[in-house]
Amino acid sequence: EPEVTQTPSHQVTQMGQEVILRCVPISNHLYFYWYRQILGQKVEFLVSFYNNEISEKSEIFDDQFSVERPDGSNFTLKIRSTKLEDSAMYFCASTKLDRDKPQPQHFGDGTRLSIL
Amino acid sequence: DQQVKQNSPSLSVQEGRISILNCDYTNSMFDYFLWYKKYPAEGPTFLISISSIKDKNEDGRFTVFLNKSAKHLSLHIVPSQPGDSAVYFCAATTWGWGDDKIIFGKGTRLHILP
């Protein structure tokens, strides 16, 4: 069964450094998302992306965050200058487009980001 | 801001019996509801969903019930199996309103006892 893949599985970065998290969504999916889960808290929405632009973003997704689909298969999340509070599990998700019926989002296994 | 609430952090059920996981929501605009299962070190795995036009959806051992007037949904697993031990997330979206971001509950950890 096709799945969303994320790399790396664990990223350790010094505070203030830039980090790029990578995702390969399911190949026939057209909507892409990033979520994060801080330890002990809920999974929370960061951003959605469709047709090469951001559809929606949460309050968390400030100017330090950006997303990109650099080619036909990858979807990346960049954090420009990491802070300690960015430490979390980051999940990528994707879904098919169906304007008549809602479709579930399918998640990758996540990247654990640790900021030192 | 707890739009989706799972009030039981954990639940233990004997193997072979029925597991019932509950979820309440506050936003009456939610129109698509999902259950995800999560094992440690893995991402949430989609289990089953239900649209607000239905009150029940069944897939094998899994059935989701939706009570819109009570703003309540539940996931029934029968019979429960050892591999069902995981964290279960209730989630919701306002798909029909053009907003498909998922709002998650905090999760319920299900333990299936031998």
B55 contacts: CB under 8 Å, gap ≥ 6: B65, B66, B67, B68
Facing B101 at nearest CB: one of A56, A91, A108: A56
The string of pLDDT tens digits covering residues A31-71 is: 999 999 999 899 999 999 998 999 999 999 999 999 999 88
User: What would the mean pLDDT of B29-45 be, rounded to a whole number?
Assistant: 94
Residues of A in contact with B42 (CB under 8 A): 109-110
Residues of A in contact with B64 (CB under 8 A): none
**What confidence score (pLDDT) does residue A16 get?**
97
Q: Which helix (H) or strand (E) holds B111?
A: strand B108-113
**What confidence score (pLDDT) does residue A1 get?**
73
Which chain A residue has the Cα nearest residue B4?
A: A42
Residues of A in contact with B36 (CB under 8 A): 107
The string of pLDDT tens digits covering residues B46-88 is: 999 999 999 999 999 999 999 999 999 999 999 999 999 999 9
Q: In chain B, what percentage of residues exceed pLDDT 70?
A: 98
Token pair 């479709």 is at which residue?
A103
B41 to chain A, any CB pair closer than 8 A? The answer is yes
Residue contacts between A and B (CB atoms, under 8 Å): 56
**What confidence score (pLDDT) does residue A26 get?**
94
**What confidence score (pLDDT) does residue B1 get?**
63
A94 to chain B, any CB pair closer than 8 A? The answer is no
